[in-house]
Amino acid sequence: MSGVSPTAHASRLTNVMRLDAPQPSYSPEELLANAPDQEENSLKVNAVLEGE
């Protein structure tokens, strides 16, 4: 073949991600308001272990 430039991918790649910039967020209290169980600003869940 002639007249075909080599490529690494079949289609052109474009980065569609936005910049990773800090944004305002919710407070831990707001995020955990409906959590069934919490401990030290964290969601507390039961351990899930294989074989038990």
**pTM exceeds cut of 0.75:** no
**47: pLDDT strictly greater than 90:** no
* Confidence at residue 52, expressed as pLDDT on a 0 to 100 scale: 55
What is d(CA 35, CA 29) in angstroms, rounded to the nearest whole number?
A: 10
Q: What is the mean pLDDT of residues 32-52?
A: 85
**16: pLDDT strictly greater than 90:** no
The confidence band for 25, taking pLDDT boundaries of 50, 70 and 90, is: very high
**14: pLDDT strictly greater than 80:** no
The confidence band for 26, taking pLDDT boundaries of 50, 70 and 90, is: very high
